[in-house]
Structure 1
Amino acid sequence: MSQAAATGITNPLLGFVHRRRRGAELFLLILALIVGIGAYAAAGIGVQGEVPTDIVAYGGWLAALVLAAHIVVRLVAPYADPVLLPIVAALNGLGLAVIHRLDLASNTTFARQQLTWMTLGVVLFMGTLLVLRDHRVLTRFTYTSGLAAIVLLLLPQVPGIGKEINGARIWIGLGPFSLQPGEVAKVLLVVAFAGYFVLHRDALALAGRRVLFIDLPRGRDFGPILAMWGISLGILVLQSDLGSSLLFFGLFLIMLYVSTERPGWLVVGAIMFVIGAVLAAIVVPRVGQRVDLWLDPFAYFGEGTNDTGRQIVLSQFGMAWGGLLGRGFGEGSPWLVSYANSDFIMASIGEELGLTGVMAVLVLYGLIVERALRVALIARDGFGKLLATGLGGIFALQVFVVVGGVTRLIPLTGLTTPFLSYGGSSLVANWVIIALLLRVSDLARRPLPDLSEDDDAVDDQSTQVIRL
């Protein structure tokens, strides 16, 4: 007789236990390694006509990193989502292969450096899971996280530490290394936003005036969104960083809407975004230039111009040349586009792997966002729901902004493509984000405690567990 029959429970939705699915995760990780190592070998064959001589060492190190991450998940987060880690491993492996292909064309070693950053990212991934056993502990650091994020965002403005690269002052120098503190700040901001909205969502959800069938928020509740709008504009003006400004304000707006379920906040946020965008285009020369390049890049390309449109025009030519199936590794010329291994890595993929390769990558990103939202739906606490939503929102916004800029859907910004682009700060921060998602997922999927054998327990059918 089943437990449900023994206890008299007839509604299977009262409780259930997710299977651990670690075997499925291991199988998917093997497929992800085949993608990463196979792409690395294909890049060598396409450019040099032979398999890279370091394929065994490279493949072994990549496999060791991925399997170590899997073992830690199996030990300390056995009920975590089984799909997230394989997707990330596939994206990171593909990114390393594309960067290696560009290295072969330009005689650089960015892929080796990226593998080092990946190693650090995986170590911090495992450390996060080992140290943080319950994501709800982070609620204690709501305001501390917010303050730390603001300090990190201001660090590039400190003389002697901050560095300006390609017109954007978003870097700090630590000896021979350059880091983007904004990549860490985005994780801290999600923690701060989640904790704040859990405490204040009831007040923020109260409706004010009704305009055109939409309940706008009360005027007294505009403080948080005005503050975030001001911070985003400050980042834009001081650092000339359009991408981070869009990311932070968009992230805040998403989490505000999810916590309050008030469409009025989206209306207010959209109006504020339009006002901020117009002001930025007028006040900040770099933003105005990006808008001009977006509208007509060919007017800034070629002889007789300042040639600032070369990057976007050549990337468009390359993706058009790639067509549906791509030229194949070694058959295109993606290195002609400046920063092809970072800002424009999607253009490199589009040229040599075609629209099919680009769509496959976008599907993988879509799956990350879908799994994050699934975690948010099943999370048992409000903080966990908002944390998972915010972390998934980071990937959704970042991929939209980057791919939209490369394809000229929107003006170009300076954000990196998660797990694909060359860049240590972004890669390490994104691995930590995945660890946080797995921690929330593990607690959400764990079985509820069975109190049926406790003589003092309250007779509540909702505490019974039906194993599926």
Structure 2
Amino acid sequence: MSQTGSLMGFVHRRRRGAELFLLVLALMVGIGAYAAVGLGVEGVVPADLVGYGGWLTALIVAAHVTVRLVAPYADPVLLPLVAALNGLGLAVLRRLDLTYEAKGFDQHTFARQQLTWMTLGVLLFIGALFLLRDHRSLQRFTYTSGLAGIVLLLLPFLPVIGTPINGANIWIRVAGFSFQPGEVAKVLLVVAFSGYLVLHRDALALAGRRVVFVDLPRGRDLGPILAMFGVSMMILVAQNDLGSSLLFFGLFLVMLYVATERPGWLVVGAVLFAAGAFAAYTFVGNVQNRFNFWLRPMDYYDASPGSGQLVEAMFGMGWGGLIGRGFGNGLPERVPFAYSDFIVSTIGEELGLTAVMAIILCYGLIVERALRIALISRDGFGKLLAVGLGAIFALQVFVVIGGVTGLIPLTGLTTPFLSYGGSSLVANWVVVALLLRVSDQARRPAPRLEPVDDSSADSESTQVVKLR
């Protein structure tokens, strides 16, 4: 290979045709599931199938065309995975709407509202790709993003707009709409963590005292992780939100370890997590209840607060078995929050363990593609940004599905792209846009190089490499 060829290295293909083919399969999943809901619950194909399918197709095609125009080298698998999960989530919400209407419950339009939020999310996805042409420009807003993220976390404490819901102080209400600012804060904090760790990772990577074959960090470098631990405990105590507390602390710990490659930070993080968990169990009643429900769910079935929804969810998934009861043949309405925190149990009951495993596989592929993007990224900020955005999905899915299945104590997070919730859905579409932007920058061919003769050379002709 010539010198020029070796300098250019491997060139990624655009693979937009492969993305389009996968998007067709994703639309078949979403629209097919919507039709199956109508057949299973009402015995007929939904009357609005054409309108619903056309609108869903228009949104996905718009997202695909945008990627083709402004991020042609982006990863071809991320968008189809997200489209399939979002489409399946809409179908499951429609199934719950029909059941609530048939049994005389309060009128719900979860599917229609979720489709509206998906429309807004896709519009922001398109806007982010058009406006952000280079992810490295976000590094200039490292401290601004951090400050904005903290301000968003504090908004639910304001007396006018702060709105406690189900005992958690994580919501604000503006102009009649409820919004969870922590969903936006997680994206801003990933940008802030990435910029901060790029600048200070050399100092944070220095080893201190060696204990049992592990180099612990120096005491003077413990400030950032202690500060993040304090923020997480504040969220847990003040907002009564165990899920967000675990998410933010785990996110910072993962990014810190990736930036420094020091296992000592994991040791410090594990010690802080254990101490925080013990303190929360001792002094925070909500956390103690979650642990008791997890360890002895049947003992608290009729208590208030109790473990009734957790027990009903586990019985429902057990009833569903391997292939499920089928849409309309289960009883997911017995779980109070089947449309949000427990949507995985609804899927497990009516579509079975097979569908749950397929969903987990889709999330695993999203995280895998994010880590692949980080590996091939040419700049440190892009690497950490991709790792952080992938860690958001990994931690959130582990905490949610682990809680619903009884693997860990139950928390209060939503399942990305599946659960009902506008804040989460919109924020996650922006996260995917950022991943695609980093991917496009990483997979785009490097500037072409060619050797040219330097006419001003002395006796011997000298070749220099010039960017064209």
Matched, 1:260 2:268: no
Give the match for residue 31 of structure 1.
25
User: What SS class does the counterpart of residue 171 from structure 2 fall into?
Assistant: strand
Q: CA deviation at 1:283?
A: 1.5
Residue type at the aligned position of 1:245: S
Q: CA deviation at 1:451?
A: 1.8
In structure 2, distance between residues paired with 1:171 and 1:147: 19
CA contact (8 A) 2:452 2:464 kept: no
Summarize deviations over 1:219-243 as a string: whole Å, max 9, x none. 0000000000000000100000000
Q: 1:71 aligns with which of 65, 82, 87?
A: 65
Q: Which amino acid aligns with 2:275?
A: I
- Report the AA paired with residue 344 of structure 1: F
Aligned to 1:298: 298
Q: For residues 296 and 174 of structure 1, what CA distance do their matches in structure 2 show? A: 40
1:52 pairs with one of 43, 46, 55: 46
1:314 to 312, 315, 319: 312
Query: CA 1:10/1:121 → structure 2, altered by over 3 Å: closer, same or farther?
Result: closer
Tell me the residue number matched to 2:155.
155
- State the 1:160 CA deviation: 1.2
Partner of 1:220: 220
Distance 2:338 2:85 in 1: 17
Aligned to 1:354: 352
The corresponding residue for 2:175 is 175
The answer for unaligned runs of 5 or more in structure 2 is 102-107, 455-461
Q: 1:364 aligns with which of 355, 362, 370?
A: 362
Q: Is the 8 A contact 2:4 2:449 kept in 1?
A: no
More contact order relative to length (CA 8 Å, sep ≥ 6):
1
Describe the SS at the equivalent of 1:16: coil
* Residue of structure 1 in register with 2:16 after alignment: 22
- Structure 1 alignment gaps of length 5 or more: none
1:455 shift after superposition:
5.5
The one of 396, 402, 427 aligned to 2:400: 402
SS of residue matched to 1:312: helix
Q: Residue 279 in 1 paired to residue 279 in 2?
A: yes
Secondary structure in structure 1 of the residue aligned to 2:209: strand
- Counterpart of 1:65, as a letter, is L
RMSD, aligned α-carbons: 1.6
Aligned twin of 1:229: 229
| CA distance in 2 between partners of 1:10 and 1:332 (Å) | 60
1:334-393 per-position Cα deviation (integer Å, ceiling 9, x unaligned): 111011010000000000010000000000000000000000000000000000000000
Task: Name the residue aligned to 1:330.
Answer: 328
The counterpart of 1:104, out of the listed 82, 98, 103, is 98
**1:22-47, Cα deviation, whole Å (9 max, x unpaired):** 00000000000000000000001000
| Residue from 77, 87, 96 that aligns with 1:93 | 87
User: Secondary structure of the equivalent of 1:210?
Assistant: strand
Q: Which amino acid aligns with 1:309?
A: S
Q: For residues 155-196 of structure 1, what are the alpha-carbon distances to aligned partners after superposition, in whole Å with 9 as ceiling and x for unaligned? A: 000101111111101000012210000000000000000000
Q: What's the % identity of the aligned pairs?
A: 72
Taking structure 1 as the reference length, the TM-score comes to 0.95
In structure 2, the CA distance between the partners of 1:322 and 1:459, relative to structure 1 (3 Å rule), is farther
Q: What secondary structure, in the 3-state scheme, does the structure 1 residue paired with 2:169 have? A: strand
- Amino acid aligned to 1:82: P
Residue 14 of structure 1 and its aligned partner are, at CA, apart by 6.4
After superposition, give the CA deviation of every residue in 1:382-408 in whole Å (9 maximum; x if it has no partner).
000000000000000000000000011
Q: Are the aligned partners of 2:416 and 2:424 in contact in 1 as well (CA < 8 Å)?
A: yes
Cα deviation code 1:227-284 (max 9, x no counterpart)? 0000000010000000000000000000000000000000000000000011111121
Could you tell me which amino acid in structure 2 is paired with residue 239 of structure 1?
Answer: Q
* Aligned residues of 2:451 and 2:463 also touching (Cα < 8 A): no
Residue identity matched to 1:336? R
Displacement after TM superposition at 1:453 (Å): 5.8
Asked whether the 8 Å contact 2:340–2:414 carries over to 1, the reply is: yes
Query: For the structure 1 residues 224 and 63, does the alpha-carbon distance in structure 2 shift closer, same or farther, using more than 3 Å as the test?
Result: same
For 2:458, the equivalent position in structure 1 comes to none
Deviations 1:47-106 (A, max 9, x none): 000010000000000000000000000000000000000000000000000000000000
Would you say the 8 A contact 2:183–2:423 is kept in 1? yes
Q: Secondary structure at the match of 1:64?
A: helix
Deviation of the 1:454 alpha carbon: 5.5
Matched AA of 2:288: G
Go from structure 1 to structure 2 and tell me whether the alpha carbon gap of 1:61 and 1:453 turns closer, same or farther (over 3 Å shift).
Answer: farther
Superposition deviation, residue 458 in structure 1? 6.9
1:429 is aligned to 427
In the alignment, the residues of structure 1 paired with residue 445 and residue 136 of structure 2 have an alpha-carbon distance, to the nearest angstrom, of 17
TM-score for both structures, normalised by structure 2: 0.95
Partner of 2:457: none
Secondary structure (helix, strand or coil) at the match of 2:170 reads strand
For residues 340 and 400 of structure 1, the distance between their equivalents in structure 2, rounded to whole angstroms, comes to: 18
